[in-house]
Amino acid sequence: MASAAERIPEEARKRAEELREQIAYHDWRYYVLDDPEISDEEYDRLLDELRALEERYPELRTPDSPTQRVGGKPAPQFRQVRHLQPMLSLANARNEGELRAWVERNLRLLRRAGVDLARLRYVTEPKIDGLAISLVYENGRLVRGATRGDGEIGEDVTENLKTIPAVPLRIPDAPPLIEVRGEAYMPRREFVRVNEERIARGEPPFANPRNAAAGSIRQLDPRVTASRPLSIWCWGVGATEGISFDSHYESLEWLRAHRFRVNPDVELHDDVESVIAACKRWEERRDELDYEIDGVVVKIDDLRLWRVLGVAGREPRAAIAWKFAPMTATTVLRRIGWNVGRTGHLVPYAELEPVQVSGVTVKTATLHNEEDLRRKDVREGDEVIVMRAGDVIPQVVSPTARAVRRPDRPPPPQPPERCPACGTKTIKPEGSVWTICPNRAGCPGQIFQAIKHFVSKGAMDIEGLGEENVRRFLEEGLIKHVADIYELDVDRLAALRGFGRTSAEKLVRAIERSRSQPFHRVLYALGIPGVGAVNARNLARHFRSIDRLLAASEDEIEAVEGIGPILARTIREALDDPNTRELIERLRRAGLRFEEEPPAADSEAQPLSGKTFVLTGTLPHLTREQATELIESAGGRVTSSVSRRTDYVVVGDNPGSKLERARELGVPTIGEQELLELIGKERVSSLTSG
């Protein structure tokens, strides 16, 4: 031993020690604090480097090395529980070649073990970016829920998990013992909403849905967890008594039949080609899903083979995670600039050396707010990590380790003393994380942002009022206030240089059309802090008119689904702001809708009342948003996944696997035309021409 140890160069020994220390630190930030400092790719690079060193000098591989362990140590504030069976991690395949190599290696091992390979099948499942949890059921009752922790010992979060509606507390026809494993996650829509609220309250937003889910479950107060909209996809069975499974796919079907939420798009495959095709399909659909995924998990279906293949380090050989192209990249931050938000907040952003991130060139990225900026400690000239996730704006994650060590690093950036848009002296209200421009009524920067939001797709959806035009109209004095949009006329527009009569007419028509947008969209368009699209819908449904909302007390506002006390106060304050009042009055005079459409006299008589729809593929005429509004206005409901309770699946071009699922379950499928017929043509023409 001693002689072998001597052969290890001092440098390698030191580097391994350094890496172990760094990895332990980042594990703590990621798993214990839910607040990572570096990107996953950077972390993986550290781990890869350590793995390579340990491979080269096996004596360096200590039992406590992070390469030998899963996850992080359980946090001391929770009761610790030993898992009935270890919860492992997954090896990664970063491309097709690595996936095929995994298959070949397993085939070799199985052949050597004398296994008949003719019937080898695989299961593909989305790799949900959430928090792994274990649910133990004794005689059909949930007795314990835990996080994965370090894989051997997790944290007891039973009370918190009980607040997730999709976690069954009891299951029918249950064996004496079954441990169900799955991924708790925060749906993307909810993530956006929770962050909107956090920003409105002056709290730093969560970096991604995974942190949001982990932070919500690892709460000491279950009421906090209950207030966060979480769900779960179950992906496997751990320890059991009185039942056993030979096929992973069958175990998932069993789970589904016993009221667990299992992803409807899990698929069984007979060969690797089909597996690879499924992985690629998932990668394409990634942005459409209501949950964040970072890859596809490929598992050998025959669970007996899992035992034959065993575990390598901390990863079962029978499964692998196909990882999608990284959503992060490293580049140089050239300058930190400040934008004025629509409510006067100064928002820092980064001008970057252009860089490709998952197929898109990124030149600017948000830095969220001052506190976030301070926490991340990025400086001009730093090498930084940039992330782009789904349709979210690119963000700066952190400076790289190298940037931090730079000797000539400039001091931390400070918010400007004068508003970059109007020159007014900025102020920082006591206890706020924001510096603001107090010139609410006259700051062109704020008006620009307010208009941009007002005309955006989810709000009034005025086509032709893009950023460039808005900027121009502001500069030329055509618009000084959001409500001025409704005073634009063809003659004044056509008089602008380079603005032809045709485009002027087109724009005025688009503005006209927007007058009939429903109340909830108008409410969202007002840009009240914390009132995103979802909250606007809920507020509109609850109060039904702006007058009732304006007259509501803080308590009454808090009674609305999804709105807590702090947000209720923020909304109340915004409604009392004379600027908001003026905006509402002017828009009311412009003829916008400030009342919900009255429900049909007899809601039973609504053509789609009580019916549930799922949409898949591209419809010939209607966008997804339009189809959803049509269905909802006819009394129906639109959900994202097909189940036995779905009444119709509306199928367009290039449908996803929802179509297969519908066929499997015998749910009727219809096209756009049939949907319109169901709703009744008269109604439709009145809705779509409005």
Ligand X SMILES: NC(=O)c1ccc[n+]([C@@H]2O[C@H](COP(=O)([O-])OP(=O)(O)OC[C@H]3O[C@@H](n4cnc5c(N)ncnc54)[C@H](O)[C@@H]3O)[C@@H](O)[C@H]2O)c1
Bridge-based pairing of strands 328-340 and 311-312 is: unpaired
Q: How many residues bind Zn ion (CB under 5 A)?
A: 7
Residue from 47, 107, 422, 687 in contact with Zn ion (CB under 5 A): 422
Residue from 135, 192, 437, 534 in contact with Zn ion (CB under 5 A): 437
Of 127, 162, 506, 658, the active-site residue reads: 127
DSSP state of 31: I
Shortest separation between residue 131's beta carbon and ligand X, angstroms:
7
Token digits of residue 516? 């009939």
Cα–Cα distance measured from residue 461 to residue 514, given in angstroms and rounded to the nearest whole number? 7
Shortest separation between residue 475's beta carbon and Zn ion, angstroms:
15
- Do the annotations mark residue 615 as ligand-binding? no
- Do the annotations mark residue 125 as ligand-binding? yes
Residue from 88, 385, 443, 568 in contact with Zn ion (CB under 5 A): 443
Shortest separation between residue 109's beta carbon and ligand X, angstroms:
21
* Residues 34/218, Cβ–Cβ less than 8 Å: yes
- Do the annotations mark residue 250 as ligand-binding? no
The strands making up 177-185's β-sheet, listed across from edge to edge, are 141-147, 131-138, 177-185, 231-241
User: Alpha-carbon torsion 637, 643, 648, 649, what sign?
Assistant: positive
- Do the annotations mark residue 89 as ligand-binding? yes
Closer to Zn ion at the Cβ: 435 or 606?
Answer: 435
Backbone angles phi, psi at 121, to 5 degrees: -125, 160
Q: Which does 30 bind (CB under 5 to 8 A by kind): Zn ion, ligand X, none?
A: ligand X
Q: Which does 43 bind (CB under 5 to 8 A by kind): ligand X, Zn ion, none?
A: ligand X
- Do the annotations mark residue 148 as ligand-binding? yes
* Residues 26/37, Cβ–Cβ less than 8 Å: yes
Q: Which residue is nearest to ligand X (CB)?
A: 132
Q: Which does 127 bind (CB under 5 to 8 A by kind): ligand X, Zn ion, none?
A: ligand X
SS3 call for 147: strand
Cα–Cα distance measured from residue 494 to residue 90, given in angstroms and rounded to the nearest whole number? 62
- Do the annotations mark residue 64 as ligand-binding? no
| Residue 587 interacting with Zn ion (CB under 5 A) | no
Closer to ligand X at the Cβ: 248 or 572?
Answer: 248
* Adjacent-strand bridge partners of 65: none
Shortest separation between residue 346's beta carbon and Zn ion, angstroms:
9
Cα–Cα distance measured from residue 16 to residue 10, given in angstroms and rounded to the nearest whole number? 10
Closer to ligand X at the Cβ: 316 or 445?
Answer: 316
Residue from 16, 296, 421, 478 in contact with Zn ion (CB under 5 A): 421
| Residue 419 interacting with Zn ion (CB under 5 A) | yes
Q: Which does 128 bind (CB under 5 to 8 A by kind): ligand X, Zn ion, none?
A: ligand X
Q: Which does 321 bind (CB under 5 to 8 A by kind): Zn ion, ligand X, none?
A: ligand X
* Residues 144/63, Cβ–Cβ less than 8 Å: no
Shortest separation between residue 319's beta carbon and ligand X, angstroms:
7
Closer to ligand X at the Cβ: 285 or 544?
Answer: 285
User: Alpha-carbon torsion 656, 659, 662, 663, what sign?
Assistant: negative
- Do the annotations mark residue 443 as ligand-binding? yes
Q: Which does 421 bind (CB under 5 to 8 A by kind): ligand X, Zn ion, none?
A: Zn ion
- Do the annotations mark residue 323 as ligand-binding? yes
User: Can you give the length of the chain in residues?
Assistant: 690
Cα–Cα distance measured from residue 436 to residue 204, given in angstroms and rounded to the nearest whole number? 16
CB atoms within 10 A of CB 663: 12
Cα–Cα distance measured from residue 340 to residue 354, given in angstroms and rounded to the nearest whole number? 23
Closer to Zn ion at the Cβ: 237 or 419?
Answer: 419
Cα–Cα distance measured from residue 177 to residue 663, given in angstroms and rounded to the nearest whole number? 33
SS3 call for 179: strand
Closer to Zn ion at the Cβ: 321 or 340?
Answer: 340
Instruction: Please indicate whether residue 681 is annotated as part of the active site.
Output: no
CA angle, 21 then 23 then 29, to 5°: 110
* Adjacent-strand bridge partners of 234: 182
CA angle, 347 then 348 then 353, to 5°: 140
- Do the annotations mark residue 40 as ligand-binding? yes
Cα–Cα distance measured from residue 164 to residue 133, given in angstroms and rounded to the nearest whole number? 12
Closer to Zn ion at the Cβ: 446 or 469?
Answer: 446
Stretch that binds Zn ion, among 249-257, 303-311, 419-427, 671-679 (CB under 5 A): 419-427
Q: Which does 422 bind (CB under 5 to 8 A by kind): ligand X, Zn ion, none?
A: Zn ion
- Do the annotations mark residue 268 as ligand-binding? no
Q: Which does 443 bind (CB under 5 to 8 A by kind): Zn ion, ligand X, none?
A: Zn ion
Q: Give the residues lining the site for ligand X (CB under 6 A).
A: 26-27, 29-30, 36, 38-40, 43-44, 70-71, 89-90, 125, 127-128, 132, 148, 183, 235, 297, 321
* Residues 612/637, Cβ–Cβ less than 8 Å: yes
Token digits of residue 381? 């000239």
| Residue 439 interacting with Zn ion (CB under 5 A) | yes
The H-assigned helical ranges of 476-553 are 490-494, 501-514, 519-525, 533-543, 546-551
Closer to ligand X at the Cβ: 45 or 480?
Answer: 45
Shortest separation between residue 208's beta carbon and ligand X, angstroms:
10
* Residues 455/485, Cβ–Cβ less than 8 Å: yes
Cα–Cα distance measured from residue 195 to residue 186, given in angstroms and rounded to the nearest whole number? 12
- By annotation, the residues acting in catalysis are 127
Binding site members for NAD(+): 40-44, 89-90, 125, 148, 183, 299, 323
Numbered residues of the known binding site? 40-44, 89-90, 125, 148, 183, 299, 323, 419, 422, 437, 443
- Residues making contact with Zn ion (CB under 5 A): 419, 421-422, 424, 437, 439, 443
